[in-house]
Amino acid sequence: MTSQYPSGMKFSLSHNIFNIIELSRSNPMIPDNAVPSSTSPAVQCQTATLPTEEALKLYDVDAVLPSTEVNAFLAYTASSLKSEPTVFAIADQVSPHTTFLPFHSTSLDILKKAIEDVRVVKDDYEVAMLKHANAISTLAHTAVLQNVKHVKNERELEAVFFSTCIKNGAREQAYHPIVAGGTNAATLHYQKNDEPLAEEKTLNLLLDAGGEYCCYCADITRTFPISGSFSPESRAIYDIVLTMQLECMKMLKKGVWWEDVHEHAHKVAIKGLLNLGVLKGGEGEIFEKRVSVAFFPHGLGHYLGMDTHDTGGNPDYGDRDTMFRYLRVRGKLPTGAVITVEPGVSIYFVLCGWSDGIIGMTSGYLAGPKLTNSITGIFLPLHNRAVP
């Protein structure tokens, strides 16, 4: 996706060449219907799969050449510059036959990071593509909801999602979907999508799926009851997660620290689980002990664009703080970024016995006394996960 970003070219043997010295002296007008809008002057060297005239119009570039001429064009460009030119390229994304010998120097470690950082802020065209990808994906989610009572296996719902996306112009998927019925919904990033639903009619379905349109991704996660009605317990968890999402979305603005938004989601979860009697103790103490990480172990969201988990988030997976370790975005959010807000509360612990009708938990994340001292037990059906 990094190589497609400047031009939108999908051809595997295409090359994008930008003369940044000429760019610094130009102020081109970019047509609104460019796909995508790219700053000229630029040159597309491509295979013969697209007529030159069509490529010029489609990609808003100054010239289109056959890929066999890439080295000649690079040599011409290098020789025409008065200074000692440097060529910037992305490591592992340069064709074996391409040579940069005519240039004074070559840099392979700057361009990729620069493009990844620039990709964080979306222009109007990119926002339009993202909206369209999500609109198609919404139709597909709705189709799954309408069919959930009438199928016997998760794969049938996956097929409904694929079919609806393709019918509406999204031939590719942004990522492998999660179609998880019943207890499967408790598995983060569940992949099988091939389990029967016939015996799970009283439980929920977790659908995490998004189509891709013109290289831009959708990402939508919803949980809904297979029977058509939530149980009281499932509804209680669902409402907690909905509150987490709505309150966090209200916090989004230029300069907000993503860590602060993530923390707030945990605080809402703690308050809700305390009200249900799942947790005990003070909100502050539970927060400091990171007890809520057992129920909400993943990051709150991620940048969205040409990749589902788009570039520029600067995660720190080595963070010793378990609350922030899996955040895909760190730091302040800039104006123009597109980010997902997808909190969750997962109940996926092993039964250890009964006490006054309450299910206890002793294994997994909750094995240590630091955590079990803050948890009274749980009254919800085992393996219930809710994401609005």
pLDDT above 60 (res 30): no
| Intra-chain end-to-end CA distance of the chain, in Å | 29
**Which residue did the predictor score with more confidence, 362 or 98?**
98
Q: Where are the beta strands (DSSP E) in 26-92?
A: 42-46, 63-66, 86-88
Query: How many residues in total does the chain contain?
Result: 388
pLDDT above 80 (res 33): no
Give the gyration radius of the chain's Cα atoms.
25
CA angle 358, 360, 362 (to 5 degrees): 175
How would you classify the pairing of strands 63-66 and 42-46? parallel
CB 292 within 8 A of CB 271: no
pLDDT, residue 46, reads: 43
What is the C-alpha separation between 15 and 3, in angstroms, rounded?
9
Q: For the domain bounded by 230-388, which CATH number is listed?
A: 3.90.230.10
Give me the phi and psi of 290, to 5 degrees please: 65, 30
What is the C-alpha separation between 21 and 41, in angstroms, rounded?
10
Q: Which of 61-70, 276-285, 322-331 has the highest mean pLDDT?
A: 322-331
What is the C-alpha separation between 67 and 96, in angstroms, rounded?
13
Q: Which of 16-30, 34-48, 276-290, 365-379 has the lowest mean pLDDT?
A: 34-48
In the DSSP assignment, the letter for residue 309 is S
pLDDT, residue 374, reads: 63
Tokens 């004074």: give the residue: 104
CA pseudo-torsion sign 170, 174, 180, 185:
negative
Q: Which residues contact 382 (CB under 8 A, 6 or more apart)?
A: 183, 186, 347, 348, 349, 351, 359
What is the C-alpha separation between 213 and 143, in angstroms, rounded?
18
User: So what CATH class is 122-229?
Assistant: alpha beta
pLDDT, residue 227, reads: 87
343-374 per-position pLDDT tens digit: 999 875 423 333 333 333 333 444 455 555 66
The closest alpha carbon to 133, from 43, 257, 220, belongs to 220
Tokens 């074996």: give the residue: 96
Q: Which of 76-85, 128-137, 319-328 has the lowest mean pLDDT?
A: 76-85
pLDDT, residue 361, reads: 39
Instruction: Specify the amino acid at residue 169.
Output: G
What is the C-alpha separation between 218 and 132, in angstroms, rounded?
9
The encoded tokens of residue 17 equal 């060449």
Over residues 210-237, the mean pLDDT reads 93
What is the C-alpha separation between 19 and 40, in angstroms, rounded?
9
Over residues 51-69, the mean pLDDT reads 79
Is there a common fold for 122-229 and 230-388? yes
| Helix 154-167 with 124-147: angle, nearest 10 deg | 140
Tokens 């999204």: give the residue: 170
pLDDT, residue 63, reads: 80
The full set of domain ranges for the chain reads 15-118, 122-229, 230-388
How would you classify the pairing of strands 358-361 and 220-225? unpaired
CB 86 within 8 A of CB 103: yes
Sheet of strand 211-213: strand arrangement: 172-173, 211-213, 216-217
